[in-house]
Amino acid sequence: MSARGRAKREAVRRQAAGWFAEGVSVPEIAARLWVSQTAVYGWRKRWQVGGDLALASKGPGGSRCRLDEGRLRRLADALEEGPVVHGFGRDQRWTLARVSDLIARIFRTRYTLRGTANIMYRLGWSVQVPAHRAVERDEAAVIMWRRETWRAGKR
């Protein structure tokens, strides 16, 4: 979640804290804020123990990246060199499994495929799915079929 989204949710919790202090019921607060009563009960419990500070955002969730900025730059440079340079055969495609293996080789740390995907997105890489075409495909026949047969079937 973005910092903006976390701030927005924190503002909702702080608004609920104001209503807790006024003695507004949990079902009423949940209805006003369009949230579940379970969430409001949890907020109220935290608020009773720690006050408004207990409802503050704890920052971004999840674990931190084990690769610092320098290592991420080294990884980006290695990815730019291509898979062949790093011993992945003649196929010039980076897969998540290959990138995960490369990270393990270079930095001695393992990532899941989802974690590797997050790193790739962070580095500006996106998923690319190659178009698979049959070798025997006759483009002229496909164009002719679209013009004549397909149009006749649509009528």
Q: Which two tokens stand for residue 75?
A: 């990884």
Handedness of CA 35, 37, 42, 46 (dihedral sign): positive
pLDDT at position 118:
92
Amino acid at 81: E
Q: What pLDDT sits at residue 150?
A: 79
Amino acid letter, residue 56: A
Quick one: pLDDT at residue 155? 61
Element (H, E) at 143: helix 139-145
Give the per-residue pLDDT at 152: 75
The pLDDT, as a whole number, for residue 1 is 66
Considering only CA atoms, give the Rg of the chain.
Answer: 27
Q: What is the pTM of this model?
A: 0.54
pLDDT at residue number 154: 65
CB within 8 A of 82, min separation 6: which ones?
92
Q: What is the pLDDT of residue 80?
A: 93
Indicate the Cα dihedral angle 62, 63, 64, 65, nearest 10°. Answer: -110
Q: Which residues contact 74 (CB under 8 A, 6 or more apart)?
A: 106
- Per-block mean pLDDT, blocks of 10 residues, the chain (155 long): 87 96 96 96 96 89 85 95 89 90 96 94 84 80 85 70
Q: Return d(Cα 46, Cα 58) in angstroms, integer.
A: 13
